[in-house]
């Protein structure tokens, strides 16, 4: 039988092997029996199925409105009530999100830069797509101080925000 080992944090493929008897050290990762032949380094094990990294899990993610996004951030304690109201009303960027935006490249030329584009997007968008690059930038910035913010954690939060 073909087995695959996946990383217990990212659920990414680590290695595969054929075996009939296994002496398994749990610290190596999670062991998954019956891995298909095509499973390799660009694959992850998500919800009991093998998917190409970033394919099925991202495609199924719904867009969320600015109100749902702000409500989710407020409900998770990442922004306060005043930030929530400012964000959904006049489009004021909460300090927690502005801290991420401030890390993006910018210059004084007045021309478009990643930071200026992000500010325009955040103050003007009425919905957010899970695949937008700012979503991953936000997740990575949050993960720098809170290890819970893995891609899987963000995916779970996003889905819970989508029903608010």
Confidence label for 6 from pLDDT (cuts 50, 70 and 90): low
pLDDT of residue 147: 92
Q: Is residue 47 helix, strand or coil?
A: coil
Is 20 within 8 Å of 58 (Cβ atoms)? Answer: no
pLDDT of residue 56: 46
pLDDT tens, position by position, 90-138 = 888 989 889 989 988 888 887 788 888 888 888 878 888 888 888 888 8
Tokens 């936000």, located at residue: 138
Buried b (16+ CB within 10 A) or exposed e, 135-156: bebbbebbeeeeeebebeebbe
Q: Is residue 108 helix, strand or coil?
A: coil
Rounded Cα distance between 56 and 130, Å, is 13
Alpha-helix residue ranges (DSSP H) falling in the chain: 56-59, 66-75, 81-88, 95-101, 114-124, 133-145, 151-161
Higher pLDDT, 21 or 116: 116
pTM: 0.55
Concatenating the DSSP letter of every residue in 21-46 gives S----GGG-EEEES--TT--TTEEEE
Rounded Cα distance between 152 and 54, Å, is 11
Is 103 within 8 Å of 140 (Cβ atoms)? Answer: no
Is the alpha carbon torsion for 104, 55, 155, 7 positive or negative? negative
Is 113 within 8 Å of 106 (Cβ atoms)? Answer: yes
């Amino acid at each position: 039988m073909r087995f695959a080992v996946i990383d217990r944090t990212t659920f990414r493929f680590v290695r595969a092997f054929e075996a009939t008897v296994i002496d398994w050290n749990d610290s190596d990762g999670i062991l998954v029996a019956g891995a298909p032949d095509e499973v390799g380094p660009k694959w992850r094990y998500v919800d009991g199925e093998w998917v190409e990294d970033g394919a099925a899990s991202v495609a199924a993610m719904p867009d969320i409105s600015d109100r749902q996004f702000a409500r989710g951030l407020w409900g998770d304690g990442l922004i306060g009530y005043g930030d929530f109201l400012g964000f959904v009303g006049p489009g004021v960027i909460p300090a927690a999100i502005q801290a991420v935006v401030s890390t993006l490249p910018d210059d004084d030329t007045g021309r478009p830069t990643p930071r200026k584009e992000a500010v325009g997007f955040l103050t003007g968008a009425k919905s957010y797509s899970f695949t937008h690059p700012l979503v991953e930038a936000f997740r990575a910035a949050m993960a720098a101080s809170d290890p819970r913010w893995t891609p899987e954690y963000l995916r779970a939060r996003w889905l819970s925000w989508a029903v608010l």
